[in-house]
């Protein structure tokens, strides 16, 4: 199975690590795909779904991550608030229904405050969208979602956070609420060996869906 998610980590503009992984489609994502190619009627033609990929989220959960042992991070992003009330290190793309992956496990903010999930401000931003998110077609049979995470400009890394050990990511449709940490319009999910970013970091994700 070919990896379809490429991740490039640059610090001070220099490439320091590159990783690749393969995503899984969530139940929501599979249902979304079937609706995208179907119509409820043809006279007039009415598609079953009109959602499009638009947002991207990051987290520190999955079997490759989880609680960090850093009190600042673990206080802001405590385990047990996801829909499955996990310990923070249980989401596994190889077994995506045990527990059922419908959100990120331990999502992190793009920007905002540092309150724990239950008391997070309603203005906190949990997802990346345009212009940091854009699409290209590398082949006739694929769409590639490009996402830039620029910690040098305050993405993810802002006071009181000096580092963040990222280990999961997801694609969301345009119905997602960027102010909801656990939005359930998650289409595709991927986990990867931890990438620790700081204020000198920039991440580039190239996430390709092939048909």
On the CB side of 36, CA atoms within 13 Å amount to 12
Q: Can you give the residue ranges of every domain in the chain? A: 5-24+52-210
Q: How far apart are CA 138 and CA 153, in angstroms?
A: 28
Give pLDDT, residue 138. 80
Give pLDDT, residue 135. 94
Give pLDDT, residue 70. 96
């995208």: which residue's tokens? 36
What stretches in the chain show pLDDT beneath 50? Answer: none
User: Token pair of 163, please?
Assistant: 């580092």
Q: How far apart are CA 150 and CA 155, in angstroms?
A: 5
Please tell me whether residue 152 adopts helix, strand or coil conformation: helix
Supply angle C-alpha 50, 110, 188, rounded to 5.
Answer: 40
Q: How far apart are CA 174 and CA 107, in angstroms?
A: 18
């Amino acid at each position: 199975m070919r990896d379809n998610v490429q991740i490039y980590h640059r610090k001070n503009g220099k490439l320091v690590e590159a990783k690749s992984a393969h995503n899984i489609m969530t139940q929501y994502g599979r249902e979304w795909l079937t609706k995208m190619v179907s119509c409820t009627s043809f006279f007039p033609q009415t598609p079953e779904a009109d959602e499009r990929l638009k947002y991207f989220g990051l987290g520190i959960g999955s079997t490759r991550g989880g609680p960090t042992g850093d009190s600042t991070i673990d206080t802001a992003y405590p385990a047990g608030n996801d829909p499955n009330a996990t310990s923070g290190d249980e989401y596994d793309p190889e077994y995506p229904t045990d527990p059922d992956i419908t959100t990120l496990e331990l999502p992190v903010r793009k920007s905002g405050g540092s309150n724990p999930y239950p008391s997070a401000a309603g203005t906190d931003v949990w997802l990346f969208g345009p212009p940091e998110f854009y699409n290209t077609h590398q082949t006739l049979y694929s769409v590639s979602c490009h996402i830039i995470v620029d910690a040098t400009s305050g993405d993810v890394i802002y006071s009181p956070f000096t580092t963040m050990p990222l280990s999961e990511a997801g694609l969301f449709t345009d119905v997602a609420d960027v102010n909801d940490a656990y939005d359930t319009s998650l289409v595709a999910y991927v986990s990867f060996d931890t990438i620790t970013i700081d204020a000198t970091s920039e991440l580039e994700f190239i996430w390709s869906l092939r048909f």
